[in-house]
Chain A
Amino acid sequence: MGSEHIVSSFDNDLAELNHMVARLGGLAEQQFAAAVEALETRNTSNIDAIVEADKQLDKLEFELNERAIEVIARRSPMAKDLRRIIVALRVAGNLERIGDYAKNIAKRSRVIIEHEKSLGDNVSIARIAGLTQQMINQVLDAYATGDAELAMDVWDRDMDVDQLHTSIFREVLEQIGADSERVSAGSQLLFVAKNIERIGDYATGIAEQIYFVKHGEFPSQTRPKADDSSSSAIDQS
């Protein structure tokens, strides 16, 4: 996002906001990876640390908000500069929410690990998490470089996450249906899958913001959607 304002300190302000978003993005990525790892390795030792580390994200988002408001007040940004600052605010909000979902995954993982060691082993949590992590990684790269095409590639891939979520939802419902003792852990797992799917949505939302910075408008196509979990039910017959 190269620019050369006559007032060079304005460039520094914009660079600083970008840097803050990058730090937030790195933290959100880390938190999500740690939460997924805790579930996959059935290891609860790191969960308290994950919950605690979420505060850093909240704090950084707050600092970014304050900084962005200062820049708006002092610089009266126009056109792309204005879009960059508004988008930094929105992306920071999305990343903070991703952090919240990661924290929530960690908390639910504890219940799942403690109650039901085998549940979910054959469920594609690792796959949906991997896909979503790739999306976040790529969308953060796209943000740092202002690459709207790379961002739109992430946007397109949200459909895979949605489809996978629907299939996980059905698998878990079947497991619960077959064994009623698995209800509490299974319910938690449904939420974990949903949280991951929501993280994918946030990555997609960030992709739209990157497109908006570059083009001054949002992508015109309807966002690809393939989450049918809301119409899924246990087959009782």
Chain B
Amino acid sequence: MSSQEENIKIRTSGVTVHYGAAQALHGIDLDIRANEVTALIGPSGCGKSTFLRCINRMNDVIEDCHFGGKIEIDGEDIYSGEIDVVELRARVGMVFQKPNPFPKSIYDNVAYGPRIHGLASSKDELDHMVETSLRRAGLWQEVHDRLHTSGSGLSGGQQQRLCIARTIAVDPNVVLMDEPCSALDPIATAIIEELIEELRSQYTIVIVTHSMQQAARVSQRTAYFHLGHLVEHGDTDRIFTNPANKQTEAYISGKIG
């Protein structure tokens, strides 16, 4: 099938990453479909976070980190010389494990991206962007009357939604999430998961998670990584009920592989 028919947003081929002499990824070929949530799972050190960080070139800043292979987003090679990395990271946003709001007001946290990218031409337009982003992140109702108080005064779950609002304020089309709920309680987690489901109609989402249940709940596709290799990739429904690979089965069932 052509990428047109399958609606492939991100195509990675032969992706390798070395940290100095140590090879972290061994030739990853993974197609990620638009408007779907793809979950990357696997034991610690399997390369899933390294792989995630290749998609917006976050590994570039790590000394001695060497990328090989090819990643295309909408058919464009993101490692080619013509790519503006800052612009790429606006298109491919990222949400981290620990909520990391800037030590600024709620408003300024969300307005930060549009400001540095010059996306708003007036105060009204910026206000509108902040409101829309907070609404999409499901936070507006809770914070609209205290936009100018500090973002760090929010609860953990609210802070994480603020970080999601900040990410989507610059209108990305891919959102990467690296264990976005690992610091949250079950209710805050459920709210983020509900949000992920709502966001996928507009964004392509790739999420790294250590929770098998979370991967099963939020994703349409799941990729299992082990020792820097992509072991298995397929429909989440199948991966968690009838995985093809014995290593995948052992991992998701909590067995010694």
Q: Which residues from chain A sit less than 8 Å from chain B, CB to CB?
A: 3-7, 10, 76-83, 216-217
Contacts and interface: CB of A to CB of B under 8 A. Distances in A.
Contacts of B241: 78-79, 82-83, 216
B242 A216 contact: yes
Which 5 A-B residue pairs are closest in the complex by CB-CB distance?
A: A216-B242, A78-B252, A79-B249, A81-B253, A78-B240
Interface string B201-218: 000000000001100100
B20 interface: no
Contact of A7 (B243, B249, B254): B254
A5 B242 contact: no
A77 B255 CA distance: 11
A78 B213 CA distance: 9
9 contacts: A10-B254, A77-B253, A78-B216, A78-B240, A78-B253, A79-B249, A80-B249, A80-B253, A216-B241
Given A76-B212, A78-B240, A216-B241, 10 more contacts: A3-B253, A7-B254, A78-B216, A78-B241, A79-B241, A79-B253, A82-B240, A83-B242, A216-B242, A217-B242
Contacts of B212: 76, 78
Contacts of B116: none
B58 to A, nearest CB: 30
A216 B256 CA distance: 21
The listed residue with most B CB atoms (<10 A of its CB), out of A7, A78, A80, A82, is A78
A81 B243 CA distance: 12
A5 B254 contact: yes
Interface of B: 212-213, 216, 240-243, 249, 252-256
Contacts of B243: 79
Contacts of A76: 212-213
B254 to A, nearest CB: 5
Nearest to B255: A5
Contacts of B256: 4, 6
B200 to A, nearest CB: 23
Nearest to B244: A216
B9 to A, nearest CB: 27
Contacts of A79: 240-243, 249, 252-253
A82 B241 CA distance: 7
Nearest to B243: A79
Contacts of B242: 79, 83, 216-217
